[in-house]
Amino acid sequence: MNLKQQGLIPEHTQKAGAQANAQLHAAMAQFAEFGKTTEILKFPDPRYELPVYVNEFWTAKQRAGHSLHEISYRACFKPQLPRFFITRLTGKNDVVYDPFMGRGTTVIEAALLNRVPVGCDINPLSRILTAPRLNPPELAEIRQRLQSIDLEKPREIREDLLAFYHPDTLRAITNLRSYLLQKERNGNLDRVDAWIRMVATNRLTGHSRGFFSVYTLPPNQAVSVEAQQKINKKRSQTPPVRDVREIIMRKSRSLLRKLQPGERSLLRGLSQRVKLITASAEQTPQIASSSVKLVVTSPPFLDIVAYAQDNWLRCWFNGIDPAAVKLWQFRKPADWQEKMTTVFKELKRILVPGGHVAFEVGEVRKGQILLETLVVPAALAAGLTPEMVIVNRQVFTKTANCWGIDNLKKGTNTNRIVLLRK
């Protein structure tokens, strides 16, 4: 059987049913794009006969991804992961959906591949960070808009934020915040404003001169004022003056550096069909039944995320009450599994017959729990069919160890994807 590595099934002749699934398994077993042989292991729960295909299925190199993806976000996967499944399991104009959208990796990659992107996240920051990159403005538009906003006018500032910012920088940030919130309240926040808001949100705090703040934690997590004061004291540092406009322009140039005219035109054409929802993934009536060809996502894991603590500064800038964002947080595996079952039921509703779910699961509790062993019975209970587990072992650990049977029992920190089918 001659299977092209770049496309599992040609887009114009994709088939449903047993033949297509046989091709799918054969392609994973025979995959050799990076010169390595696929290992086929047994599923860690002996109650289920499910093949586990282990190989280097995609590169982990950041440079291989599009520059539009380069927005920091907690626990996000690289764009090579959704691209692997989108190019193999969908055709042009098919709907690709991520119910836990995060920074928007799946939906942006889908759009760049001329698929219709649909995303959902209970976190309102997700849409703020994703939507502008699906219809980006020109650099000249961004520069002109920034020059039109008076960032230097006198304005009352939050004194506690001086732990992060020079007074002049904080005044500029506060003026920008006021401008953006007013435009949003008036209903005339356009795509240029939305882009500036997205970039500014991502540049609020960080550990280099590319951020508005003095040296602090990376941009996907904000420390408290008290913690920042301790950092300042320990490092003998004071917040320097930062040029807010120039930092926004610098990051904009970086994000747009790989965007080709054809891609810009493609994104513009898709912009009216994009659907981004701020809601719970188990209830998405905005998405029509039997309309989605592929779901690629990574769910919240068994963890307690201090959302209000980590995002308080980004929420302040965007006028969001962090206490009102009710993220899912589970300590007990049974509770997590029950919630995922409700999500899978909703995914079954919106999937087309023969559609797939690529469900990325990660290591939790130092490998003591393998989430795929919870996903498979949850999917079965929802009426979905587990097809396989795909493990990309290139990013297994910082060591040169391979992902084998021993590591399967212990769990790893590599990409592990449970592939489900309706």
For the stretch 372-386, pLDDT in tens is 999 999 999 999 999
Is 316 inside any structural domain?
A: no
Q: Do 290 and 394 belong to one domain?
A: yes
Rounded Cα distance between 182 and 236, Å, is 37
Looking at the structure, tell me whether residues 64 and 149 fall in a common domain. no
Q: What are the tens digits of pLDDT across the range 160-188?
A: 999 999 999 999 999 999 999 999 999 99
CATH code for position 361: 3.40.50.150
What is the C-alpha separation between 135 and 274, in angstroms, rounded?
10
Q: Which residue has the tokens 């808009």?
A: 145
Are 404 and 282 members of one domain?
A: yes
Domain boundary among 202, 229, 256: 256
For the segment 393-404, the average pLDDT, to the nearest whole number, is 43
Same structural domain, 115 and 158: no
Q: How confident is the model at residue 218 (pLDDT cuts 50, 70, 90)?
A: confident
Residue 174 within any structural domain of the chain: yes
Radius of gyration of the chain (CA): 22
Q: Are residues 279 and 364 in the same domain?
A: yes
Residue scoring higher pLDDT (13 or 103): 103
Q: Are residues 98 and 147 in the same domain?
A: no
Per the listing, tokens 């230097």 go with 152
**Position 406 pLDDT exceeds 90:** no
Bridge-based pairing of strands 415-421 and 351-361 is antiparallel
> Which residues share a beta bridge with 420?
357, 386
Number of domains in the chain: 2
Same domain, 56 and 180: no
Dihedral, 211, 213, 215, 219 alpha carbons, nearest 10: -60
The boundaries of the domain holding residue 187 are 139-256
DSSP 346-393: HHHHHEEEEEEEEEEE-EEGGGTEETHHHHHHHHHHHT-EEEEEEEEG
- Check residue 206 and report its DSSP letter: B
Structural contact between residues 382 and 345, judged by C-beta atoms closer than 8 angstroms? yes
Which letter does DSSP use for residue 286 in this model? T
Alpha carbon separation from 151 to 176, 179, 216, 263, 300 (Å, rounded): 6, 9, 24, 33, 38
Same domain for 389 and 291, yes or no, is yes
Give residue 328's pLDDT band: very low, low, confident or very high (50, 70, 90).
Answer: confident
Percent of the chain exceeding pLDDT 70 equals 86
- For the entire predicted model, the pTM comes to 0.90
Instruction: Determine, yes or no, domain membership for 407.
Output: yes
Sign of the CA dihedral with 331 first, then 337, 338, and 342 last: positive
DSSP characters over 139-181: HHHHHHHHHHS--SS-----GGGGGTS-HHHHHHHHHHHHHHH
Assigned domain for 283 exists:
yes
Model pLDDT, residue 74: 73
Tens-place pLDDT, residues 25-50: 999 999 998 889 999 999 999 999 99
For the purposes of burial, counting CB atoms within 10 Å of the CB of 366, is it exposed (0-12), middle (13-18) or buried (19 or more)?
exposed
Taking the alpha carbons at both ends of the chain, their separation in whole angstroms is 25
Of the candidates 227, 256, 285, which is a domain's last residue?
256
The kind and range of the H/E element at 244 are helix 244-256
Among residues 145, 147, 170, which one has the least CA distance to residue 225? 170
In a domain, 93, yes or no: yes
Angle at 348 between CA 347 and CA 353, to 5 degrees: 125
Residue 176 maps to a domain: yes
Q: Average pLDDT, stretch 89-117? A: 97
pLDDT in tens, 114-133: 999 999 999 999 999 999 99
Report yes or no on 312 lying in a domain: no
Cα–Cα distances in Å, from 67 out to 62, 79, 140? 9, 10, 18
- Note whether 152 and 114 are same-domain residues: no
DSSP state of 237: -
Mean pLDDT of the chain: 88
Tell whether 164 and 104 lie within a shared domain: no
Whether 292 and 355 have beta carbons less than 8 Å apart is answered as yes
Domain identity same for 154 and 109: no
Asked whether residue 358 is assigned to any structural domain, the reply reads: yes
Cβ(191)–Cβ(132) below 8 Å: yes
Q: Are residues 248 and 178 in the same domain?
A: yes
**Which residues, in sequence order, are CB contacts of 159 under 8 Å at separation 6+?**
none
